[in-house]
Chains A and B, each alone.
Chain A
Amino acid sequence: MKLHEYQSKQIFAEYGVPIPKGRVATTADEARAIAEELGGRVVVKSQVLVGGRGKAGGIRLADSPEEAGSLATEILGMQIKGLPVRKVLVDEAASIATEIYLGVTNDRAARCPVMIASAEGGVEIEEVARTDPEKIHRVWIDPLLGLREYQARYLASSIELAREHWRTFIQIASGLYQAYVSSDATLAEINPLVVTEDDRLLALDGKMVLDDNGLFRHPDLAEMRDLDEEEPAEGEARKYGLSYVRLDGNIGCMVNGAGLAMATMDVIKFFGGAPANFLDIGGGATAEKVAVALEIILKDAHVEAVLFNIFGGITRCDEVARGILAALEQVDTNVPMVVRLVGTNEEAGRRLLAKAEMITATSLADAAKKTIAAIKEA
């Protein structure tokens, strides 16, 4: 789960990371009032969960509260990479002397957190890693010990930060690491961390990605999820414990297990079709869950056929069959459906589905070919 800039910076501030004064607004009037309150120059920043906000014109400087208001009107009407801007952050503008990158994330290969710093702040760190890998400095953190002071000092010296700022930098690095650990984050990033012309360190931008599996420990953070920013069907699916990702093809897929669901999409593509979605009903799915899943798939108007691929282990094929039948009673549809049931209680499942007019398949390849053929015939 991604957090907005304003949410991330609030969390950073709780752990002692200095951030600019500012607040979030949803209307131009609010933005104007916040600018008034802050006094002086402000920056109006769109709050959407994609990168490249600056390039898209979603981050602008304002010299007066009136200008802040009119810029807010403009930005609140924008779409950035297809996402409508619904909130702006109004921050006091900082006079920037230098820009640094500082972030902490999970290193899968090293199986521990890694803290990354670069003197090349304010630009995409992946880009720096590609073009100037020697400008990226890393320290790996023992998760049982946490970030040690010498490690933060090593980063400060590696990026050639002036010595007078080391103390503050170490505090910021330590605060960022604490924020990352205490929030069950997979990424906590300050880009840029700036040195201002009056010699202060300030986190101008912030980004956090939280581990969905850790959210049970953080009901307060779970509430920060911005439902406006996700595909409604994906949120709906999550409520029922289903994992759904919409794609742009025309073959709806319902599968048990994530790996098999991906493989099913791949097989459809291999035989010349295009999957409309990824959908994992999980292990031991009940009839109710299957019914909800089918409704979600069929809500996508592009779906011209549905392929069910169920390999029963914990999941019982007869239970899935009952779910399909229940869903078909509730949903009025005439798209062709192809079913492949293998494993636990497959015979009972097939018998149940014999009444419904569905195409049956024995293998995954067979199922994919029959689904593609069914669309051509229709």
Chain B
Amino acid sequence: MSILIDKNTRVLVQGITGREGLFHASQMAAYGTQVVAGVTPGKGGEWVLDGKVPVFDTVQRAVDTTGADCSVIFVPARFAADAILEAADAGVQLIVCITEGVPVQDMMKVRRYLDQKGTRLVGPNCPGILTPGGAKVGIIPGHIAIPGNVGVVSRSGTLTYEVLYALKAKGMGASTCVGIGGDPINGTSFIDVLSMFEADPQTEKIVIIGEIGGSDEERAAEYISDHMTKPVVGFIAGQTAPPGKRMGHAGAIVEGGTGLAADKIKALRSVGVKVADHPEQVPDLLA
């Protein structure tokens, strides 16, 4: 078992003929993921990945023809909101948006619309989802993780890789790793993923990787205290970040005294979450 994706997930790639889209579509397929379709408006009728994957002009056509049930989005930021809405309207139940730089006002509208439809969005500005040994949807390098019983959820990209790699070095594997993204408004929160891990029989322990900005970690701490029975270990990036400065991610900013790493660490520790001083310490705290 895993969460969100497995071997049976039928993935379509929006923006499959672009440089990033094509590269990562081939990486996903090489990992064993069922990449069943691509969408690029104006390129319908072409075939990619050695002629194995058909390209469609619209998501609706791709879904009708191939039965895709998950979409991963690699289109440029200015087209991302439209791409997400197109997938949702075509009935795709799980949408993973890798694109970075989506305007926050677009995301507020998109999120409201998806909530009304009941569609699950992961991202944007995220590395996607990896179920080691099963499937990957997104850009997380497959070789840095092995199958196991640790559920990983993170707001970051490469920092997540660092933790997966540290786990693997100690022989620990992951059930599923979900990158929820570093934007202020996204589709899936820590709480959403924590509840899925709590319900997943394969997942026995959980790692939560947060960073400065917003209060998602504080709310996760409350949820852990009220609803989680499985042990949770955390790491929060940005203890040395100055206030008022955006640290790369649009959502990673300490504003008006809120979003501080120290407050998040305190909130997590207060509900029994072991918080690592540095990312390579995470496996020790899980042991």
Contact = CB atoms under 8 A, between A and B. Distances in A.
Interface of A: 106, 108-109, 111-113, 126, 142-144, 181, 184, 186, 211-214, 216-217, 243, 245, 247, 255-263, 265-270, 275, 278, 280, 283-284, 311-314, 342-344, 363-365
6 contacts: A213-B77, A245-B245, A260-B162, A262-B241, A262-B247, A364-B280
B165 A342 contact: yes
Interface in B135-169: 139-141, 144, 154-162, 165
Given A108-B214, A363-B280, A259 B104 contact: no
Given A111-B185, A113-B108, A275-B240, A257 B159 contact: yes
B278 A270 contact: yes
A144 B161 contact: no
A259 B159 contact: yes
Given A142-B112, A144-B112, A257 B156 contact: yes
B187 to A, nearest CB: 10
A265 B112 CA distance: 36
Contacts of B250: 211-213
B135 to A, nearest CB: 17
Contact of A270 (B211, B245, B277): B277
B242 interface: yes
B215 interface: yes
Contacts of B161: 260, 311, 313, 343
Size category of the B interface is: 35 or more
B178 to A, nearest CB: 14
Given A259-B158, A265-B241, A283-B139, 12 more contacts: A106-B104, A106-B108, A126-B256, A142-B112, A211-B104, A213-B101, A217-B103, A258-B252, A259-B160, A259-B209, A262-B211, A262-B238
A339 B114 CA distance: 44
B241 A278 contact: yes
A238 B156 CA distance: 21
Nearest to B242: A247
A266 B156 contact: no
Given A144-B112, A144-B113, A247 B240 contact: yes
Interface string B224-248: 0000000000010111111001111
B248 A211 contact: no
A266 B239 contact: yes
B111 interface: yes
Contact residues of A: prevailing secondary structure: mixed
Contact of A214 (B103, B154, B214): B103
B258 to A, nearest CB: 9
B contacts with A: majority SS: loop
Interface string B18-33: 0010000000000000
A259 B278 contact: no
Contacts of B78: 216-217
A245 B212 CA distance: 15
Nearest to B279: A263
A284 B159 CA distance: 15
B109 interface: yes
B219 interface: yes
B132 interface: no
Contacts of A260: 156-159, 161-162, 237
A82 B219 CA distance: 37
B251 interface: yes
B112 A143 contact: yes
A259 B100 CA distance: 14
Interface in B165-210: 165, 182, 184-185, 209
B257 interface: yes
Contacts of B109: 143-144
B108 A143 contact: yes
Given A213-B101, A267-B278, A364-B279, A314 B241 contact: no
B8 interface: no
Nearest to A1: B246
A327 to B, nearest CB: 21
A28 B252 CA distance: 41
B274 interface: no
A314 B139 contact: yes
B184 A106 contact: yes
The 9 closest A-B pairs by CB, nearest first: A259-B156, A258-B248, A257-B158, A259-B159, A214-B103, A262-B237, A260-B158, A143-B108, A280-B248
Nearest to B23: A314
A262 B277 CA distance: 13
B108 A184 contact: no
B141 A143 contact: no
A166 to B, nearest CB: 27
Contact of B212 (A212, A262, A267): A262
A105 to B, nearest CB: 10
Nearest to A2: B244
A286 to B, nearest CB: 13
Given A259-B237, A278-B247, A214 B112 contact: no
B226 to A, nearest CB: 17
A81 B50 CA distance: 60
A108 B253 CA distance: 12
B141 A343 contact: yes
A112 B113 CA distance: 12
B240 A262 contact: yes
A15 to B, nearest CB: 16
Nearest to B250: A213
Residue with the greatest number of chain A CB neighbours at <10 A, chosen from B162, B212, B242: B162
A214 B241 contact: no
B240 A106 contact: no
Given A283-B157, A313-B158, A262 B252 contact: yes
